[in-house]
Structure 1
Amino acid sequence: MAGILDLLNSDLGKTIISGVSGSTGAPQNKTADLLSIAMPVLMGAMQKNASSPQGAEGLLGAVMGKHDGSILDNLGGLFQGGVDDSVVNDGAGILGHILGSKQTNVEAALSQKSGMDMAQVSQILKVAAPILMGVLGKQARQNGVQDAGGLSNVLGGLLGGGQGSRQQSLIETFLDADGDGSILDDVAGMVLNSGAKKGGLGGLLGGLFGRR
Structure 2
Amino acid sequence: MNLLDTIMNSQGSPVGQIARQFGLDERTVGNVMQQFLPALTNGVKKNVQQDGGLDSLLGALNRGGHERYLDDSASITQPGAVQDGNNILGHLFGDKQVSRELAARTSQQTGVDSSILKQMLPMVAGLAMGALNKQTHAMGMTGGGMTGGGLTGGAQSSSSLGPLMGLLDADGDGSVVDDLMGLAGRFLR
Would you call these one fold, judging by a TM-score over 0.5?
yes
Q: Is structure 2 residue 88 aligned with structure 1 residue 94? A: yes
Does the 8 Å contact 2:14/2:70 carry over to 1?
no
Give the structure-2-normalised TM-score: 0.75
Query: Which of the numbers 71, 79, 90 marks the counterpart of 1:85?
Result: 79
Deviation for aligned residue 1:50:
0.8
Task: Quickly say closer, same or farther: Cα 1:106–1:63, change in 2 above 3 A.
Answer: same
> In 2, Cα distance between the equivalents of 1:43 and 1:178?
15
Task: Quickly say closer, same or farther: Cα 1:164–1:105, change in 2 above 3 A.
Answer: farther
Does the 8 Å contact 2:4/2:33 carry over to 1?
no
Deviation for aligned residue 1:63:
0.9
Q: What amino acid is aligned across from residue 29 of structure 2 in structure 1? A: T
> In 2, Cα distance between the equivalents of 1:160 and 1:54?
19
Task: Quickly say closer, same or farther: Cα 1:174–1:125, change in 2 above 3 A.
Answer: farther
Task: Quickly say closer, same or farther: Cα 1:61–1:16, change in 2 above 3 A.
Answer: same
Backbone CA RMSD of aligned residues: 3.0
Deviation for aligned residue 1:70:
3.7
> In 2, Cα distance between the equivalents of 1:13 and 1:174?
33
How many equivalent pairs are there? 174
Task: Quickly say closer, same or farther: Cα 1:41–1:155, change in 2 above 3 A.
Answer: farther
> In 1, Cα distance between the equivalents of 2:85 and 2:160?
20
Deviation for aligned residue 1:47:
1.5
Does the 8 Å contact 1:3/1:161 carry over to 2?
no
Return 5+ residue gaps in structure 2 as ranges.
146-150
Task: Quickly say closer, same or farther: Cα 1:29–1:56, change in 2 above 3 A.
Answer: same
- What corresponds to 2:183 in structure 1? 175
- SS of equivalent residue, structure 1 residue 119: helix
Q: Deviations over 1:83-133 (max 9, x none)?
A: 210101111111121012322222222222222222111111111111111
What are the residue-to-residue correspondences of 1:59-208 with 2, within 5 Å? 59-67=57-65, 69-75=67-73, 77-78=74-75, 83-101=77-95, 102-145=98-141, 146-147=144-145, 152-159=161-168, 163=172, 165=174, 168-169=176-177, 171-177=179-185, 179=187
Pick which of 145-154 and 49-58 moved more: 145-154
Does the 8 Å contact 2:7/2:128 carry over to 1?
no
Does the 8 Å contact 1:69/1:134 carry over to 2?
yes
Does the 8 Å contact 2:42/2:179 carry over to 1?
yes
What are the residue-to-residue correspondences of 1:28-39 with 2, within 5 Å? 28-39=26-37
Q: Deviations over 1:43-63 (max 9, x none)?
A: 222112111024333312111
Return 5+ residue gaps in structure 1 as ranges.
182-212
Give the structure-1-normalised TM-score: 0.68
- SS of equivalent residue, structure 1 residue 179: helix
The structure whose RCO (Cα within 8 Å, separation 6+) is larger is 1
